[in-house]
Amino acid sequence: MSSKMAAILENSSIYALLLSGLVLGAIVLWQLQTYKPRDPREPPMLPARIPYIGHILGLIIHQAEYFQQLASRTTFPIFSLKMLSGELYVVTSPDLIKAIVKNPKVFTFDEIFVVASESVFALTKRQMDILKEPRVGSNEKYPIAKDTQQSMHRTMNPGASLDHLNARALNRFARFVNPIGPTGINVKLYEWIRHAFTLSTMEAIYGPINPFSEDESLIPTLQHFEDDIGLLYLNVLPQYTARAGYKARITMANSFKKYYDNKHNIDSSALIKARYEALTQGFNTDDVAAFDIGVCVAATTNSVPGTFWFLVRIFSSPDLLAALREEVEPLVTRKPGSNEAIVNVAGFMKSCPLLTSTWQETLRSIAATVTARTVTEDTMLNGQYLLKKGSYIQMAAGPMHSSPTIWGPDANDFNPSRFMPSTVSSLPKAEQKQRKTAFAPFGGGAVLCPGRYFASTEILGIVATMVLGFEVVSKDGGSLKLPRIKKQTMAVQVRHPVGDMDVTIKRRKGWENVKFAYDVVGDGAVEGEGLVFD
């Protein structure tokens, strides 16, 4: 090493040392200034391995998985983390989570939603003022946001508008698999699912002419936004720190502006019509177009990896695949002399306990939702723990979903029959109740996912189609192998796989020329528009 280089290195180590000293000093001063004695009734403090900055570093490095790591260090059902600006309570017990989500006035999501929307959607001051405007004649906060959320819950609850969504999505999906010929197709599985699922779901939600049907390159664009949500939320020069997500946000808003300007929303679902009505109480159409990226993310971000893992679990286990084929086949009507196969999707809940249980077990094993709330007043939780006003709560489903105390010694195994009524009813009543409370892939309380019926029916329909009519095999012709799971970022609920997998999708013997269609209501009729048999 030259002496000049050695001097530079020596100098830079000195600078680094000085800088670290300054940062540490500032943190200690901050801590001294903000120090408040703790009430012994508050949840116990879990110290960081590196004083002061350990938890912040832990969250930056390990993201949502940090909660899982912390939970394994303690038996407390709730614990506190000292962060720079206050305390963060982490809750991992089903009973405490239930008590929190059932009290949305005290433990609210509203403030987090508004702060997150401002940075994630890049809202202007005018848009924020509209969002913050209280309801006329009362002091109810964020009425437009609340009406919009309610419109989504209303139109995706069981009923005609939900059936219409599912019929449209599944019949669009059929147009991806019906043309598959005798030689099959070679695809990257995750990418193929993301492509077919996104186009099907967008057609169901936005109608046959929508930004994605007009420009399929929006599928990776949406992924860029999704990947950068965390950085967009931080909002530190996002045009540089979250370049791809920042550009994706602009592209998507422009595409949806064109969609509304051309009035293609006339053919949209009840969901989009009701949402539009709620939002335009204050916002203009261009504002609405800027928010639609949120719908697109919500509708695909968990469903795409959910479908992927559900399929991989089944096609990696020949016994499970065979059992599911036997269970689902009676729900298919094949008219003599015709190549149509109509799948009675409405019958899944009643007649396919293994299929529905496998979906739930897939979610248990892969969904590690972390939901947040703020505390609006000092409150004793379940009469046990004092939660202080202004603190943040993070409720982590991951530790609940994998706890041997709740699920038994096989908690870390994939047991497809775990959620079957026959399995559940063999457990003591208290255990049944505990498992029910602990299973929370769709969140809970006031922010329970409104898309849970839509997503589950769509995904069950897609997976049943693949199980019945196709073989999904790896490159060497064998069963699929489970890929590794990607580190979970804070914005992700259903964890993603590492990389993708090359597969062949080919026709199952006896189902060579079958064209799929769906009966979503269970009355024997095939619903939906755009049904194409080719």
Q: Which is nearer to ligand HEM, 127 or 493 (CB)?
A: 493
Say whether residue 454 binds ligand HEM (CB under 6 A).
yes
Say whether residue 443 binds ligand HEM (CB under 6 A).
yes
Give the C-alpha separation, 232 to 217, whole Å.
Answer: 21
Say whether residue 442 binds ligand HEM (CB under 6 A).
yes
449 is in an annotated binding site: yes
253: tokens are 């808003």
Give me the least distance between CB of 117 and ligand HEM, in Å please.
11
Say whether residue 302 binds ligand HEM (CB under 6 A).
yes
Give me the 256-295 binding string for ligand HEM, x by CB under 6 A, dash otherwise.
Answer: ----------------------------------------
223: tokens are 């992924």
Q: Which helix (H) or strand (E) holds 334?
A: strand 332-334
Place of tokens 């919500």: 298
- Pairing relation of β-strands 370-375 and 392-396? antiparallel
The answer to whether the beta carbons of residues 327 and 354 sit under 8 Å apart is yes
Place of tokens 């305390």: 87
Give me the least distance between CB of 150 and ligand HEM, in Å please.
8
Which 466-485 residues touch ligand HEM, going by CB under 6 A?
none
Say whether residue 449 binds ligand HEM (CB under 6 A).
yes
Give the C-alpha separation, 529 to 34, whole Å.
Answer: 61
Q: Which range of residues in 13-21, 328-336, 441-449, 505-513 is near ligand HEM by CB under 6 A?
A: 441-449
Q: Among 238, 245, 451, 483, which residue sits at the site for ligand HEM (rule: CB under 6 A)?
A: 451
Q: Which is nearer to ligand HEM, 298 or 424 (CB)?
A: 298
Residues contacting residue 172 through CB under 8 Å, at least 6 positions apart: 199, 200, 203, 204, 530
Distances (CA, A) of 331 to 169, 350, 362, 456: 19, 11, 22, 17
Q: Which is nearer to ligand HEM, 53 or 372 (CB)?
A: 372
Give me the 216-255 binding string for ligand HEM, x by CB under 6 A, dash otherwise.
Answer: ----------------------------------------
CA-based nearest residue to 302, from 195, 217, 226: 226
Q: Which range of residues in 21-29, 38-46, 364-372, 516-524 is near ligand HEM by CB under 6 A?
A: 364-372
Q: Which range of residues in 129-137, 184-192, 248-256, 436-444 is near ligand HEM by CB under 6 A?
A: 436-444
Give the C-alpha separation, 270 to 273, whole Å.
Answer: 5
Instruction: Centre a 10 Å sphere on the Cβ of residue 326 and count the other Cβ atoms it contains.
Output: 10
Sheet holding 515-519, edge to edge: 332-334, 340-344, 515-519
Q: Among 398, 416, 441, 469, which residue sits at the site for ligand HEM (rule: CB under 6 A)?
A: 441
The answer to whether the beta carbons of residues 7 and 31 sit under 8 Å apart is no
Q: Which is nearer to ligand HEM, 381 or 449 (CB)?
A: 449
β-bridge mates for residue 91, sequence order: 78, 395
Say whether residue 371 binds ligand HEM (CB under 6 A).
yes
The answer to whether the beta carbons of residues 526 and 518 sit under 8 Å apart is yes
Known binding positions for heme? 449
Using CB under 6 A as the criterion, which residues of the chain lie in contact with ligand HEM when the complex forms?
A: 149, 152, 298-299, 302-303, 306, 367, 369, 371, 441-443, 447, 449-451, 454-455, 493-494
